[in-house]
Structures are given as structure tokens and as C-alpha cells.
């Protein structure tokens, strides 16, 4: 079903919780012009579509949808990482992953499928009973984390980490504006089955939520940092994220350093 530009523009503005005035100021256009665009009284130029999409921080995949709805051809291509012109991107990702050694780091796509990982990450997943390299289907980090028989059974602070992880999944899905991604994330959450009740805020409140693992007596304490490309011009690059794991304590740091060294 085709959706008009006025409808999509208004939906994105509401999704970002912006008034017409705020969006108009951000996009450097008049509120009256924006009102006419949303009502369909005025037709946007290609440049205006891209200006509004930039102001709304619309993902590149959905910017193409906005362009198409306004009667224009797509602006952004979706390239495979194996294509020759993506070699600098592959090189940059590999450099980041290798630089993060001996600690785990993984590259995931918009559906949380593993795209690339360093040896420490694959080693950690394998240690926890997952096989990210030899799996018949793409290894999905979110599914592996949520599944009762997956990594979740080794997360000792699951009741604390659960609300934040699910909030993050839903927040990223909603920000994408893609119905298929929102449905995908909700299906992943439902697959987790009955979820534990969430306790009150722990005291003292830490600056990050540690991921406490207990893998058959091996105790590891980590937190993660998510990174994205700052100025992507390709849909694939726009949707890739690097999740880097950092040790919270000396024991965890020592384990990874010794495991990689051996």
C-alpha cells in the first residue's frame, strides 16, 4: 500500500515528538510551509524532502521511502559488504574489531544478526554454548540473549539487565520507523517466554549496567558500548552497529587477556 508524503512526514514528526514549529526551525523552513507540506497543499522538492528527513534523523532506508512517496527516485543504495567499493568499510570494521582485542566486539545489522566479530567475541559465544561461526542461519545476538536456552541462562543479573535490554531493542526498532523491524523485535521478545518481574532500582546506581555472567562457575562482569558510523551514505553502513564489551573488574580483564594469549 502506497503512503503519501504528507502522511509519512507527519508520522515521522510525531514519532520524534516534535511540534511543527520545532521541526520547521530545525529544517530552516517556515512553519506555514511545513503545514502546507503536511496537508498536501504544497508539493515538496527533492531537496526539501531530504532537508526534512535530515532534520527528523530519518534512517537512510526510510529516506528513500519518503523520496518515493514524493515522486522522486531513491537517493541511497544498499550495498553488500563484499562489493569492491565497500572495501574501506570492511577495513575499518576489521580494524576496530582487532583493536578491541583481547575483549569481545561484534558487528550487527538492523535485525541484530552477526555480521562480523573478533576472536574474543566468537570465543565468548562458543563458551556460552552458541556457535556463531558454524550456525546454518545468521547468528542473531538478540535472539541468543533472550532465548531461555541461550546466553540468557548464564546471565546472573538477568532481572536487572532485562528491562534495559528490552527497552533498548524496542527503542531502536521504533527509531528505525520500519514496521518489519518492530514486528521482528516484538517476536524476539515474545520468544523469551515468561519474563521475570523487574525489581526496583539497585543502590548505588552505577554509570553503566554490568552484564554479569556465570558460565559453569566462570564469573565475568562486562558492560557494552554501541558505536555507529557518523556520516553514512549507504543503507548498509547506516544500519551497522559495533557492540564492544569492556571488563568491569580486574578478574574479567585478566581472563580475556590470558584466554587470548593462550
From CA 253, how far away is CA 106, in angstroms rounded? 18
Other Cβ atoms less than 10 A from the Cβ of 231: the count is 6
In this prediction, residue 260 carries a pLDDT of 83
Residues in the chain: 262
Q: What pairs with residue 106 in β-bridges? A: 117, 243
Domain with CATH 3.30.450.20 in the chain: 84-198+205-261
pLDDT tens digits, residue range 45-77?
Answer: 999 999 999 999 999 999 999 999 999 999 999
Going residue by residue through the chain, which has 262 residues, state the pLDDT in tens, using 9 for 90 and above: 458 999 999 999 999 999 999 999 999 999 999 999 999 999 999 999 999 999 999 999 999 999 999 999 999 999 999 999 999 999 999 999 999 999 999 999 999 999 999 999 999 988 887 766 655 578 899 988 888 787 888 999 888 888 788 888 998 898 888 888 999 999 888 877 776 565 554 445 556 678 999 998 999 999 999 999 888 899 999 999 999 999 999 999 999 999 887 7
DSSP 75: -
Residues whose CB is less than 8 angstroms from the CB of residue 66 and which lie 6 or more positions away in sequence, other chains included: 5, 8, 9, 12, 49, 52, 53, 58
Q: Which CATH superfamily is domain 5-69 in?
A: lambda repressor-like DNA-binding domains (1.10.260.40)
Cα radius of gyration (the chain): 21
Using DSSP's 3-state secondary structure scheme, residue 139 falls into coil
Q: Taking Cα atoms as reference points, which of 242, 241, 226, 233 lies closest to residue 79?
A: 233
Q: Taking Cα atoms as reference points, which of 191, 44, 185, 204 lies closest to residue 113?
A: 185
From CA 132, how far away is CA 185, in angstroms rounded? 20
Residue 68 corresponds to which cell in the numbers above?
Answer: 518515493
Domain with CATH 1.10.260.40 in the chain: 5-69
In this prediction, residue 134 carries a pLDDT of 56
Residue 121 corresponds to which cell in the numbers above?
Answer: 567475541
Compute the C-alpha angle 165/204/224, nearest 5°.
35
- Could you tell me what percent of the chain has a pLDDT over 90? 65
Using DSSP's 3-state secondary structure scheme, residue 196 falls into coil
In this prediction, residue 30 carries a pLDDT of 96
Residue 183 corresponds to which cell in the numbers above?
Answer: 514486528
Q: Which CATH superfamily is domain 84-198+205-261 in?
A: PAS domain (3.30.450.20)
Residue pair 228/241 in contact by the 8 Å Cβ criterion: yes
Using DSSP's 3-state secondary structure scheme, residue 37 falls into helix
Amino acid at each position: 500500500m502506497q503512503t503519501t508524503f504528507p502522511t509519512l512526514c507527519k508520522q515521522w514528526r510525531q514519532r520524534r515528538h516534535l511540534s511543527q514549529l520545532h521541526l520547521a526551525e530545525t529544517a530552516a523552513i517556515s512553519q506555514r510551509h511545513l503545514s502546507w507540506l503536511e496537508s498536501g497543499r504544497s508539493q515538496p522538492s527533492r531537496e526539501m524532502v531530504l532537508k526534512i528527513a535530515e532534520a527528523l534523523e530519518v534512517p537512510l532506508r526510510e529516506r528513500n521511502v519518503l523520496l518515493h512517496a514524493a515522486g522522486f527516485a531513491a537517493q541511497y543504495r544498499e550495498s553488500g559488504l563484499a562489493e569492491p567499493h565497500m572495501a574501506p568499510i570492511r577495513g575499518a570494521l576489521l580494524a576496530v574489531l582487532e583493536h578491541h582485542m583481547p575483549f569481545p566486539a561484534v558487528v550487527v545489522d538492523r535485525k541484530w544478526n552477526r555480521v562480523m566479530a573478533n576472536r574474543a567475541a566468537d570465543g565468548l559465544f562458543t563458551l556460552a554454548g552458541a556457535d556463531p561461526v558454524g550456525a546454518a542461519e545468521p547468528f542473531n545476538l538478540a535472539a541468543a540473549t533472550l532465548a531461555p536456552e541461550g546466553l540468557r541462562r548464564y546471565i546472573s543479573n538477568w532481572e536487572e539487565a532485562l528491562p534495559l535490554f528490552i527497552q533498548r531493542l524496542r527503542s531502536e526498532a521504533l527509531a528505525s520507523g520500519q514496521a518489519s523491524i518492530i514486528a521482528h523485535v516484538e517476536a524476539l521478545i515474545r520468544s523469551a517466554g515468561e519474563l521475570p518481574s523487574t525489581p526496583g532500582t539497585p543502590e548505588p546506581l552505577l554509570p553503566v549496567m554490568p552484564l554479569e555472567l556465570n558460565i559453569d562457575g566462570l564469573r565475568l562482569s562486562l558492560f557494552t558500548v554501541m558505536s555507529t558510523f557518523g556520516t553514512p551514505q549507504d543503507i548498509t553502513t547506516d544500519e551497522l552497529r559495533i557492540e564492544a564489551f569492556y571488563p568491569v573488574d580486574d578478574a574479567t580483564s585478566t581472563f580475556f587477556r590470558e584466554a587470548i594469549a593462550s
